Structure 1
Amino acid sequence: MKDTGLKSECGFRLALPGQLETHMILDQSRIQRETELGIWPNRVLTDYLMEYIAENPDRPALISHRADSGQITTVSYGEINERAERVGGNLMSLGIRPGDVVSFQLPNWWEFVAIHLACLKIGAISNPVMPIFRARELEYMIGFAESRVFIVPQTFQNFDYEGLGEQLLERIPSLQHLIVVGGKGKNAFETLLLKEPEKRPSSQSPHSPNDVVELLYTSGTTGKPKGVMHTSNTLLSSASQVTQRLALGSNDIGFMPAPFAHQIGFCFGMMTPIKLGIPLVIMDVWNPAIAVDLIEKYRVTYTCASTPFLVDLSEVPEVENRDLSCFRMFMTAGAPILEPMVNKVLKKIPVNLVPGWGMTEVIQVTATEPFTSLAGPLNDGAALPGNEVRVVDDKGKVLPAGKTGFLQCRGSTLFVGYCKKPDLYSVDSEGWFDTGDLAWMDENGNIRIAGRDKDIIIRGGENIPVLEVESLISELPQVHDVALVGMPDERLGERGCVFVTLLPDTKLSFAEMVEYLKSQELAKQYFPERMEIIKEMPRTPSGKIQKFVLRDRAAKLVESETSYTKKPNLKLPDDL
């Protein structure tokens, strides 16, 4: 690893003319602190790759299931490195220089991994974007990142990505090259990037461990995305923490159903196995029945994914009769997991669960110890080594155990700023980052997420305990998923509206829900006053429910009625 390029007083690379000025925030005091503590590895992912292929180039790196053909292909570590070198060399021939941004919108294919490794080899910044995004989102994201290259599949799940890319090529001034995986023309990935390049990248990455290597947009539970910047040190320290918590080693086999273009898939799906030199089983389209087949066939030992993936696996018919004895660890992240859900899952799949909390900006910050049964109240774990968490009030005062407040964190996995938006970097002088989440902490340092700051429902001055109400409703046997949001009310400000998805061939009435909440002795003021049955929850790519979408929907329902009291599900006393 050599450090090239100019340096600012804060210790980060300055952009050369024509390159992205990221406004990265990383001072020497943080670098010194993390280095002295031994938390940052001060390496780049390709360092681990090159060491590993020198010893075992033929070991499988990726075992890939393609939904369109049903075929499974295997790529070895030596092969993925060879392809990455070719891609990197050919990107250099296209004029890509250290510090340039390369955007790619690909599913979980080997090409995704090769492109990121290629970016590391030539000093470029990887900007993966989710396959679900379309022209509106992409024009903003790619344009804001000033990407020079955009790589897409020709088609995926019956969508014309090449056509979309051609539109963006005309609209985005910085974008110079559209490259198409599976394409037929001159811009085909296979023709343009997999040929023998004029010059291969150096075996040593131009990236310093403290250079930005990943630009990942937030998944947007609250609106416009922000470009989160991470370095090799912040990413690899999180990979190391999770490796330690899950007790992963050279004999493990990973499984990644979550998209590589999300932080869970990027850090724990792509990076962690390469760091360990172990195989990873991937699928490009989520199908729980096929996932069970893959886990059983390839003797998968662990995965990290959001809660909906876990629930879906447990609902595969006869899953309890499959040989999943190999499958020992499932770290849940992204969306909170509820106690009734845990109990349902563990009856079907005897896996060690490891709930935790994280976000794009800080990756994985907390995690529980692995468990196969609940020994007490469910929580989201304590801070992993190298990180700290605390809960504060609106004035920044640390709250005692059991009190709900604003969650803050600091440590080795903290990002180094929002691209070109340093003013949004909400980190104080002591390094504490305001996460925007609400939480409480127990006497042992374990946190429990209580929702987002903007998810609070205040009914007539009374805060409704959203997570508690959701957890109770999820205990109903008909319920698959639940989300409680506020809907506007002229007198009380807000009332609760619950959105519910049901299991197949089941029904649930509002009266049934109310009777159950009464039986659980929940305060009547906390009862949802409207219930809407929907087919599926709107979610971010990480599995988090987009409550702002549901709030908008609830507000429109109220607005469309003559008055709220015309068609209430439930009439509660207003004199609170």
Structure 2
Amino acid sequence: MAIETNLTPARRKAMTEAGAWNDMLITDYLDEAVAEAANRPAIITYRMADGSRSALSYGELNEKVTRMAAGLAGLGVAKGDVVSCQLPNWWQMTALHLACVRIGAVLNPLMPIFREHELRFMLAQAESKVLVVPGVFRDFDHAAMARDLEAGLDTLRHVLVLGGEGEDSFDAVLLDRAWETETDTAALFKARRPAGDDVVQLLYTSGTTGKPKGVMHTSNTLMSHIRPFTTRLGLGNDDTTFMPSPLAHQLGFLYGLMMPIYLKATAVLQDIWNPGEAVGIIRAERPSLMLGSTPFLTDIAEQAVDHGPDLQSLKLFLCAGAPIPSPLVEKAARNLPTRIISAWGMTENGAVTTTRPGDDPARAVNTDGLPLPYMELKVTDMEGNTLPPGQEGPLYVRGASLFVGYFKQPGLYGVDDEGWFPTGDLARLDEEGYVRITGRSKDVVIRGGENIPIVDIENTLYQHPAIQTVALVGRPDERLGERLCAYVTLKEGHETLTLEEVTAFLTERKVTRQYQPEFLDVLDELPRTPSGKIQKFKLREQASQVTSST
């Protein structure tokens, strides 16, 4: 089926003429890698639960992708159908995306932290035909959850379980059967080849309207970001990337899944973040690049105090999701040869800005970088007039890597006739074009680089029998950027409410643990404007002083 997007002929023409879009697919770059370096390691996976290490060469990866693609087609996945996966950082996720592209299907990566509350909406809206999950990951039974979800979703035809042993075993269904011998794969892939403007990725992002929005990307929007990104950072096929950030997040997807294939380089994946184990991985694999949010950099800088010699291969660390504290850069610099790269981006764009490897280190602390080629920024006043350098206002972005719409919600796209997209962030630009994100005009808390859907969680808490009103805000946190604080007033007849009771209520409703409040304050009343609107800025000020939950 054809997926409706907001892509216009005018944008297509402009991006093509600019050289930003070339209609190349990630599988084209896989073909090049197989032709030029079939024996080079493509993906090295470290699983923390059993301490295992596995490696696939480009030739081996391609063989598995061919079999999986033919198998998915054999299961009835048609061109334009959505295949969802809730997988950790395992090679199967990379292979699944490549297999989907081979047959024109759309991959929908889902964060492993999601539970029924989030997944039921996403899978239903996406009309996912296949869902791939681990059997058990981090002591949680994903297989049981997926089967429960399957029972209530008419469009979900197959649940495949990695590590499963029954009829829904991923290996038994897709890998143990020689699907490629049962069909002419060359003809199949040629007939199913997606165009450069066809949707290949559907990634849900936490919004401010209460429900996630499905961000749609094409091969052109994704690859027009990867190419200039690698050029700016000076990366080549000898640069091994260490990726402990989730592949189901845009950062992990772009730079741990797609970028290494484009470079014909090696990706090293860690499925559960453990700083001590990361040191051993870096010592063994000698990656030159690591990417993650501020907590990852904090932990690596801490490890470098005692294990600096083991981390000397790291020449670049790209940090995004929150401002980088100056002491953290200084701490890393004392023990590592690593250049810290600051970046800012969105699910809707990937990284829009980065500092440059040759920039003064202070740039990574004081700015969020320069726009990448094919991308533009502007800061405006509230009437939409462009502001001069140094003044704060709403931030807009346009360019090649901008997404092509929200799945089944074309009216939410928000891009104006000139191609400008409102980011929801506040920012200022300096004289040289470097941006600094100064705040958010949208109601979002970012914990460890992950957006928390505030409105959705508030709406769920309003169902609690003791809660009269609720407001969620972020509390600044040195490691995670922000932690979630809940401020509530209670209904008549209820005198107390504990944080444990709140988290138990949310857990009962299958809300992701990382989306649950970590602090609770019961107030007689919430601060309000004369018109009755809750003044969250006052609560944020109060949250910054929180030292314990009540």
Q: TM-score category by the smaller chain?
A: 0.7 to 0.9
- Name the structure 2 match of 1:476: none
Say which SS state the counterpart of residue 522 (structure 2) adopts: helix
CA offset digits 1:146-195 (Å, max 9, x no partner): 00111111111111111001101111121111111111111111110111
Give the RMSD, CA atoms, in angstroms.
3.2
The one-letter code matched in structure 2 to 1:196 is A
- Name the structure 2 match of 1:413: 401
Say which SS state the counterpart of residue 131 (structure 2) adopts: strand
| Cα gap change, 1:283 to 1:376, in 2 (>3 Å) | closer
- Name the structure 1 match of 2:463: none
| Cα gap change, 1:185 to 1:379, in 2 (>3 Å) | same
C-alpha displacement at 1:221, in angstroms? 7.3
* Mapped partners of 1:557, 1:432: distance in 2: 42
C-alpha displacement at 1:225, in angstroms? 1.1
The answer to whether the Cα contact below 8 Å between 1:455 and 1:547 also exists between their aligned partners in 2 is no
- Name the structure 2 match of 1:41: 22
* Mapped partners of 1:115, 1:569: distance in 2: 42
CA offset digits 1:262-287 (Å, max 9, x no partner): 10011111000001111111111011
* Mapped partners of 1:388, 1:298: distance in 2: 37
- Name the structure 1 match of 2:62: 81
C-alpha displacement at 1:41, in angstroms? 2.8
Asked if 1:169 is matched to 2:170, the reply is no
* Mapped partners of 1:200, 1:157: distance in 2: 40
CA offset digits 1:61-100 (Å, max 9, x no partner): 0111011110111111111111111111111111111000
The one-letter code matched in structure 2 to 1:127 is N
The answer to whether the Cα contact below 8 Å between 2:475 and 2:543 also exists between their aligned partners in 1 is no
Asked if 1:324 is matched to 2:311, the reply is yes
Equivalent residue in structure 2 for 1:558, among 506, 510, 523: 523
- Name the structure 1 match of 2:322: 335
- Name the structure 2 match of 1:147: 128
The one-letter code matched in structure 2 to 1:199 is T
Say which SS state the counterpart of residue 131 (structure 1) adopts: coil
- Name the structure 2 match of 1:279: 266
- Name the structure 2 match of 1:199: 183
CA offset digits 1:277-305 (Å, max 9, x no partner): 11111111011111122112211001222
* Mapped partners of 2:398, 2:44: distance in 1: 36
* Mapped partners of 2:215, 2:71: distance in 1: 27
| Cα gap change, 1:104 to 1:455, in 2 (>3 Å) | closer
* Mapped partners of 1:378, 1:50: distance in 2: 41
* Mapped partners of 2:515, 2:49: distance in 1: 33
* Mapped partners of 2:211, 2:431: distance in 1: 37
The answer to whether the Cα contact below 8 Å between 1:379 and 1:448 also exists between their aligned partners in 2 is yes
C-alpha displacement at 1:241, in angstroms? 1.8
- Name the structure 2 match of 1:507: none
Say which SS state the counterpart of residue 414 (structure 1) adopts: coil
- Name the structure 2 match of 1:431: 419
* Mapped partners of 1:442, 1:139: distance in 2: 44
- Name the structure 2 match of 1:28: 9
The answer to whether the Cα contact below 8 Å between 1:352 and 1:372 also exists between their aligned partners in 2 is no
Asked if 1:382 is matched to 2:370, the reply is yes
Asked if 1:246 is matched to 2:211, the reply is no
Equivalent residue in structure 2 for 1:499, among 472, 475, 484: 475
C-alpha displacement at 1:139, in angstroms? 0.5
CA offset digits 1:224-264 (Å, max 9, x no partner): 21000000011011111210111001211111111110100
CA offset digits 1:286-339 (Å, max 9, x no partner): 111111221122110012221211111112263453243321111112233233
The one-letter code matched in structure 1 to 2:523 is V
- Name the structure 1 match of 2:202: 215
The one-letter code matched in structure 2 to 1:249 is G
| Cα gap change, 1:71 to 1:191, in 2 (>3 Å) | same
C-alpha displacement at 1:378, in angstroms? 1.1
Q: How many residues align?
A: 474
In terms of mean alpha carbon deviation, does 369-378 or 213-222 score higher? Answer: 369-378
- Name the structure 1 match of 2:428: 440
| Cα gap change, 1:410 to 1:401, in 2 (>3 Å) | same
Say which SS state the counterpart of residue 404 (structure 2) adopts: coil
Say which SS state the counterpart of residue 454 (structure 1) adopts: coil
Asked if 1:296 is matched to 2:283, the reply is yes
* Mapped partners of 2:172, 2:147: distance in 1: 18
The one-letter code matched in structure 1 to 2:318 is M
| Cα gap change, 1:260 to 1:321, in 2 (>3 Å) | closer
Q: How does 1:218-233 map to 2 (within 5 A)?
A: 218-220=205-207, 223-233=210-220
The answer to whether the Cα contact below 8 Å between 2:244 and 2:270 also exists between their aligned partners in 1 is yes
| Cα gap change, 1:146 to 1:318, in 2 (>3 Å) | same
Say which SS state the counterpart of residue 34 (structure 2) adopts: helix
| Cα gap change, 1:114 to 1:502, in 2 (>3 Å) | closer
CA offset digits 1:41-66 (Å, max 9, x no partner): 32000011112202221110011101
* Mapped partners of 1:105, 1:135: distance in 2: 12
In terms of mean alpha carbon deviation, does 316-325 or 206-215 score higher? Answer: 316-325
C-alpha displacement at 1:345, in angstroms? 3.0
The one-letter code matched in structure 2 to 1:383 is P
| Cα gap change, 1:236 to 1:258, in 2 (>3 Å) | same
The answer to whether the Cα contact below 8 Å between 2:89 and 2:270 also exists between their aligned partners in 1 is yes
* Mapped partners of 1:100, 1:499: distance in 2: 40
Say which SS state the counterpart of residue 62 (structure 2) adopts: helix
Say which SS state the counterpart of residue 175 (structure 1) adopts: coil
| Cα gap change, 1:548 to 1:359, in 2 (>3 Å) | same
- Name the structure 1 match of 2:485: none
The one-letter code matched in structure 1 to 2:282 is I
Asked if 1:366 is matched to 2:342, the reply is no
The one-letter code matched in structure 2 to 1:287 is N
- Name the structure 2 match of 1:460: none
C-alpha displacement at 1:27, in angstroms? 1.1
Identity among equivalent pairs (%)? 44
The answer to whether the Cα contact below 8 Å between 2:279 and 2:307 also exists between their aligned partners in 1 is no
C-alpha displacement at 1:375, in angstroms? 6.5
| Cα gap change, 1:331 to 1:317, in 2 (>3 Å) | closer
The answer to whether the Cα contact below 8 Å between 1:86 and 1:200 also exists between their aligned partners in 2 is no
The answer to whether the Cα contact below 8 Å between 1:319 and 1:349 also exists between their aligned partners in 2 is no
The one-letter code matched in structure 2 to 1:288 is P
Q: Structure 1 regions of 5+ residues with no counterpart?
A: 1-14, 17-21, 457-465, 468-484, 486-494, 504-545, 572-576
C-alpha displacement at 1:498, in angstroms? 7.8
* Mapped partners of 1:497, 1:76: distance in 2: 46
- Name the structure 2 match of 1:183: 164
| Cα gap change, 1:343 to 1:570, in 2 (>3 Å) | closer
Say which SS state the counterpart of residue 185 (structure 2) adopts: coil
The one-letter code matched in structure 2 to 1:278 is A
Asked if 1:129 is matched to 2:94, the reply is no
* Mapped partners of 2:474, 2:199: distance in 1: 41
